[in-house]
Structure 1
Amino acid sequence: MRSSNPVFSRRGFSRDNSGYAGFGAGAQAGAASQGNPYASGQYAGNPYAQPGNPYATNPYAQGGPDLQQGQQAPARATGRMTIDDVVTKTGITLGTVIVAAGAAWALSLPVGVGFGAAIVAMVLGLIQSFKAKPSPALILAYAAFEGLFLGVISKYYNGIAYGAPMQAVLGTMAVFAGVLIVYRTRIIRVDRRFTRFVIGASIGFLLLMVANSLFAVFGGGDGLGFRSGGLGIAVGVVGVLLGAAYLALDFKQIEDGVAYGAPREESWLAAFGLTLSLVWIYTEILRIIAILNND
């Protein structure tokens, strides 16, 4: 299953799993490839078990020569991505976002500067999404500019609804915890059907937002009304649900990367993907709170 998240879709974090997904559900890197259900048959597309994939030469990956012969992986595993790596890199990336947001808030940067930072962050994010390898400097630069944007809009919305940013932070944390729980308890199934649904819903959502923006630019006001009133709240809830779905896809890709011996540098890419999803959820919740307090 390929993630629809552009950060992971080119990386090879994939398992064609039609069942439930959960941390530790699959065979761990280091097990014999002949005992790995994802190394043959309908799962032959597992990139960490294929000689031709870019990670096959990684001595710590599932597809190493020793494992292809059914032998055990080397005891030394410092070259593989781990959950601890992902947590550490995510903490650094989100910490950069928070510091930059705090600086933008304290300096009371103009709204124009905030949206300029958002454009720069978008460009940097797209560049990283299409790079062959993750670049920590590029990811942290994205986090810094994204943080400036979040600091500006957070202060703006705080003027509309006092305390909205903190409520949005708490809401984002609650969504993250909720998705993690339902993922680990196998309540949700992250499979091809789930991925296709999320992709389709995301495309429809983005098209609606683009149409709304165009009507707002040329017709004035709030365009089609997708960002105000009861309709705006409903659209915001859909946006939060989509962000939660992308978090589930992120968890799936991280699980697969750890299970099948992705290189350690991929933890930066995992942190980047999680940051994208969390920023999306935060901005949608912030908008919902502002609408609720403005009606």
Structure 2
Amino acid sequence: MRSSNPVFTRRGFSRDSGYAGFHAGPQVQTGTPYVGSPSNPYAQPGNPYAQPQVGPAGGFVPPAAPTRAGVMTIDSVVSRTALTLGAVIVAAAAAWIGDLPVGAGAAFGLVALVLGLWQSFRREASPALILSYAVFEGLFLGTISAAINEVAPGAAMQAVLGTMAVFAGVLFMYKQRIIRVTARFTRFVLAAALGFVLLSAVNLIVALIGDGNGLGLRDGGLGILFGIAGVVLGACFLALDFKMIEDGVAYGAPEKESWLAAFGLTLSLVWIYMEFLRLAAILQGE
């Protein structure tokens, strides 16, 4: 089953091994579940970082995280994520201080959407494209946040704190294996994401042709419930991101995949921030 996060659909999450792993082509017989596995493109016989190891009882164990240069590591993921999120934050601060009009923010958001989709459907990561997306996304977030903060003072800071809390909470629960990214979990997230996006699209269409309130998903009690559902869905995206990173490090993914990991984490965090921002605005307007 592939990930609901568009960044990882080509690396995907498959259920071949009973859990969410990387998707690859036909299996190559090697005698172990780790080399030539159809669930991981880095666990191939020709990959020097994915050779099996013999355990104490003579059985095979998964390969340890690679230490050679040129492969994905936690440090490389952290550094790329810091660059990407840093670009978002700096651009957002510039837009906030510059007091840009909402129309300009909408234009920045459209450009960020195009760049994000472009990267999502590329076969390889493009650092320039990812950083460009981060800049335009930051300009959009800064403009929208400033506008909302005018009518709901403190909403932006509340959204930042909420996003940080969700990230820390999901990371803790993932590390403690309280959250387990299985094939069933991935199918649930995919279905929930599809339903959420479709319902949002219907709400937008009704709002455009109706009285502007749509189905009532952007305000009131229903809006609060919808916002909470969006935050929970974003937390699930983070769990999928953590699984992708864990597998990439364990199986010696190319170092360039660190940019994709950073891109995926940025998408998930932006999603969560926007849902918290909307929730804060709704709650202050009640």
Q: How many Å apart are 1:221 and its aligned residue?
A: 2.3
Map 1:1-295 to 2 at 5 A: 2-11=2-11, 16-18=16-18, 37-39=33-35, 43-50=37-44, 56=46, 61-62=49-50, 77-295=68-286
Q: How many Å apart are 1:39 and its aligned residue?
A: 2.9
> What code does the residue aligned with 2:262 have?
A
Greater RCO, 1 or 2 (C-alpha within 8 Å, sep 6+): 1
Q: How many Å apart are 1:44 and its aligned residue?
A: 3.8
Residues 116 and 270 (structure 1), Cα distance of their counterparts in 2 relative to 1, 3 Å cut: same
Q: How many Å apart are 1:49 and its aligned residue?
A: 2.1
> What code does the residue aligned with 2:86 have?
G
- Conserved? CA contact 2:16–2:38, under 8 Å: no
In structure 2, the partner of 1:24 is none
- Conserved? CA contact 1:105–1:151, under 8 Å: yes
Question: Which runs of 5 or more structure 1 residues have no equivalent in the other structure?
Answer: 22-32, 65-69
Q: TM-score, normalised by structure 1?
A: 0.85
Q: How many Å apart are 1:13 and its aligned residue?
A: 6.9
Residues 14 and 87 (structure 1), Cα distance of their counterparts in 2 relative to 1, 3 Å cut: farther
- Conserved? CA contact 1:93–1:143, under 8 Å: yes
Q: Which runs of 4+ in 1 moved over 4 A?
A: 12-17, 33-36
Q: How large is the RMSD of aligned CA atoms in angstroms? A: 2.5
Q: How many Å apart are 1:5 and its aligned residue?
A: 1.2
Question: Which runs of 5 or more structure 2 residues have no equivalent in the other structure?
Answer: 22-28, 53-60
- Conserved? CA contact 2:14–2:20, under 8 Å: no
Q: How many Å apart are 1:50 and its aligned residue?
A: 2.5
- Conserved? CA contact 2:145–2:156, under 8 Å: yes
Q: What is the SS of the residue equivalent to 2:271?
A: helix
Q: How many Å apart are 1:14 and its aligned residue?
A: 6.1
Residues 16 and 175 (structure 1), Cα distance of their counterparts in 2 relative to 1, 3 Å cut: farther
Q: What is the SS of the residue equivalent to 2:184?
A: helix
Q: How many Å apart are 1:132 and its aligned residue?
A: 1.4
Residues 17 and 76 (structure 1), Cα distance of their counterparts in 2 relative to 1, 3 Å cut: closer
- Conserved? CA contact 1:250–1:273, under 8 Å: yes
